[in-house]
C-alpha cells in the first residue's frame, strides 16, 4: 500500500469532519482486517459456550457453581473453572431424579407440604476447601534484575469438597503451578 | 437417560445464533478479540476475558435476563469485555504487589508480539506493523475509541454509551488518537522506515 506523505499536511483537525490527512490515516486503519481467531481459540470459545449451557441445563433444579477460594488468572484458569463446573453439574445430574419424575413433580406441585425436602432439593453446599503441595522442583538459578534467584516450581492441588442434597460428598480437584523466586546469597 | 453432554448440545441450540456459535464466532470473534486485546495486557488475558464475556452473555440469555435480541449482543459484549479487563488488570496489580518478581508474567507479556492484531492480507506488512505498533502505544483511552469506531462500526454516541463518556469526548479522543498515529507515520517516513 502506498503511504501518502502526511508530514507536511495541516495538523489541525476541525471540530466537524476530519481533515484530509486524518481521513487518510482513518482509511489506512480501515484497510486493516482484525486477525481471524485461531482454530484452537474457536474450539475453546465454542466449547466454553456449550459447556456453559450444560451447567445451566443439567437436570438439577438449582445446579450451583462452587468457586475455588482463590481464582487463577492464567489462560487456562477460566477453563478449569468451567471444567470443574461441568464436572460438578454432571455429577449432580447423576444423583438427581429425572425432570419429569413423579417425585420431583410432586415436590414442585406441593412445595409447602414437603418444605424440608423441597428446600434441600438440588442444593450443593461447600463442605471444605484444601490445598496440597504435590510436587516441588528446583529449576536452578535465574537472574532477576541482576540479582541471582533460585527458581522453584511448586505444583499445588486445590480441592473443593461439596455435599449434595443426599449428603453425598463430591470432591473436585484443580492443579495449580507457581514459581517461587528466592534470592540467592552471593559470596 | 441422556447424558449431561447430550442435554448441553440440545440446550445450546435454541439460543445459538443462526449458523451456530462457531459461525457467529468466526464472524464477530475477530472484532471482539481485537477489542479484548486492546483492553488487556496480554494475549492470555484477552482470550480469557473474551471467553468470560461470552459465557456471561449466554448465562443472561438462558436465564431470561437479557434485554434485546441478537443485535444487542455486541454492545453487551463490549461492555462486559471492558469491565472484565478492568477486573483482570486490578487482579494483576494486586498480584504484582504481592510478588516482587514474576518470571512467568514477563514471559506472558512478551507473548503479545507473537499475536498480530491484524491479518497481513490486503495491506503491506510494514504499514500494518507500524499502525499496529502505534495503536498499541497509544493511551488506552484513545485506542479503545479508535478500535470501536473503525473495526466495530460504532457511532460516537454508541461508543460514549459503552465507555460511559460523552459523545463529544469520544469524538475528541478519536481525533487525538488519529493525530498521534499520523505523527508516528510521519516520523517513520522521515526516518526512512517507510
Question: How far, in Å, CA of A21 to CA of B89, rounded?
Answer: 35
pLDDT digits (tens, 9 = 90+) for B49-66: 999 999 999 888 888 888
Q: Which residues pair with A87 in a beta bridge?
A: none
DSSP state of B100: S
pLDDT of residue A111: 36
User: Residues A88, A162: contact at Cβ < 8 Å?
Assistant: yes
Q: Which residue has the higher pLDDT, A157 or B144?
A: B144
Question: How far, in Å, CA of B118 to CA of B43, rounded?
Answer: 14
pLDDT of residue B47: 93
Smallest Cβ distance to A181: which of B95, B103, B185? B103
pLDDT of residue A70: 46
Residues sharing a CB contact under 8 Å with residue B134, sequence separation 6 or more, in sequence order: B180, B181, B184, B185
Smallest Cβ distance to A1: which of B101, B124, B187? B124
Q: What count of Cα atoms within 13 Å lies in the side-chain half-sphere of residue B109?
A: 7
pLDDT of residue B80: 93
Residue B53: Cβ-neighbour burial (10 angstroms; 0-12, 13-18, 19+): buried
Angle at B9 between CA B4 and CA B14, to 5 degrees: 125
DSSP state of B112: G
- The owner of cell 473436585 is A172
Q: What percent of chain B shows pLDDT beyond 70?
A: 79
Q: What is the pTM of this model?
A: 0.55
pLDDT digits (tens, 9 = 90+) for B72-117: 899 899 999 999 999 888 877 776 666 655 555 444 444 445 678 9
Calculate mean pLDDT across residues B44-48: 91
- The owner of cell 468466526 is B26
Beta strands in B9-162 (DSSP E): 118-119
pLDDT of residue B109: 47
Residues sharing a CB contact under 8 Å with residue A75, sequence separation 6 or more, in sequence order: B44, B47, B48
pLDDT of residue A140: 80
Question: How far, in Å, CA of B194 to CA of B183, rounded?
Answer: 13
pLDDT of residue B145: 95
CB contact under 8 A, B47 and A41: yes
Question: How far, in Å, CA of B92 to CA of B87, rounded?
Answer: 9
Q: Minimal CA–CA distance to B41: which of B123, B100, B102? A: B102
pLDDT of residue A112: 35
pLDDT of residue A60: 45
For chain B, the average pLDDT equals 81
Smallest Cβ distance to A32: which of B44, B131, B187? B131
pLDDT of residue B112: 46
B153 touches chain A (CB under 8 A): no
Chain B nearest CA to A57, separation (Å): 6
Chain A nearest CA to B143, separation (Å): 12
Question: How far, in Å, CA of B133 to CA of B135, rounded?
Answer: 5
Q: Which residue has the higher pLDDT, A85 or B17?
A: B17
Low-confidence spans in chain A with pLDDT less than 70: 1-20, 51-123, 145, 186-187
pLDDT of residue B99: 63
B29 touches chain A (CB under 8 A): yes
CA B22 centroid distance within chain: 18
pLDDT of residue A63: 46
Chain B nearest CA to A78, separation (Å): 7
Amino acid at each position: 500500500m502506498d503511504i501518502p506523505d502526511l508530514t507536511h499536511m495541516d495538523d489541525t483537525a476541525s471540530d466537524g469532519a476530519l481533515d484530509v490527512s486524518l481521513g487518510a490515516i482513518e482509511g489506512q486503519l480501515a484497510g486493516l482486517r482484525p486477525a481471524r481467531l485461531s482454530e484452537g481459540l474457536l474450539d475453546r470459545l465454542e466449547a466454553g459456550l456449550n459447556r456453559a449451557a450444560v451447567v445451566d441445563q443439567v437436570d438439577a433444579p438449582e445446579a450451583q457453581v462452587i468457586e475455588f477460594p482463590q481464582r487463577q488468572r492464567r489462560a487456562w484458569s477460566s477453563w478449569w473453572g468451567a471444567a470443574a463446573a461441568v464436572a460438578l453439574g454432571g455429577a449432580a445430574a447423576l444423583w438427581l431424579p429425572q425432570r419429569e419424575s413423579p417425585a420431583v413433580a410432586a415436590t414442585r406441585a406441593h412445595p409447602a407440604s414437603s418444605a424440608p425436602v423441597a428446600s434441600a432439593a438440588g442444593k450443593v453446599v461447600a463442605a471444605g476447601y484444601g490445598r496440597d503441595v504435590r510436587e516441588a522442583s528446583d529449576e536452578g538459578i535465574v537472574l532477576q534484575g541482576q540479582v541471582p534467584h533460585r527458581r522453584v516450581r511448586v505444583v499445588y492441588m486445590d480441592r473443593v469438597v461439596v455435599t449434595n442434597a443426599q449428603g453425598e460428598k463430591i470432591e473436585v480437584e484443580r492443579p495449580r503451578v507457581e514459581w517461587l523466586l528466592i534470592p540467592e546469597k552471593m559470596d | 437417560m441422556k447424558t449431561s453432554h447430550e442435554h448441553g448440545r440440545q440446550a445450546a441450540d435454541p439460543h445459538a445464533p443462526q449458523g451456530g456459535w462457531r459461525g457467529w464466532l468466526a464472524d464477530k470473534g475477530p472484532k471482539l478479540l481485537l477489542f479484548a486485546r486492546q483492553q488487556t495486557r496480554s494475549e492470555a488475558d484477552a482470550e480469557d476475558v473474551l471467553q468470560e464475556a461470552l459465557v456471561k452473555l449466554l448465562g443472561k440469555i438462558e436465564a431470561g435476563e437479557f434485554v434485546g435480541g441478537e443485535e444487542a449482543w455486541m454492545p453487551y459484549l463490549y461492555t462486559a469485555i471492558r469491565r472484565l479487563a478492568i477486573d483482570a488488570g486490578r487482579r494483576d496489580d494486586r498480584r504484582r504487589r504481592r510478588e516482587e518478581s514474576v518470571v512467568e508474567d514477563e514471559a506472558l507479556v512478551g507473548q503479545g508480539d507473537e499475536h498480530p492484531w491484524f491479518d497481513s492480507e490486503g495491506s503491506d506488512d510494514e504499514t500494518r506493523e507500524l499502525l499496529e505498533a502505534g495503536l498499541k502505544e497509544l493511551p488506552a483511552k484513545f485506542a479503545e475509541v479508535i478500535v470501536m469506531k473503525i473495526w466495530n462500526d460504532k457511532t460516537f454516541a454508541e461508543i460514549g454509551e459503552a465507555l460511559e463518556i460523552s459523545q463529544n469526548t469520544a469524538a475528541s479522543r478519536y481525533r487525538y488518537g488519529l493525530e498521534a498515529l499520523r505523527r508516528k507515520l510521519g516520523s517513520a517516513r522521515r526516518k526512512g522506515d517507510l
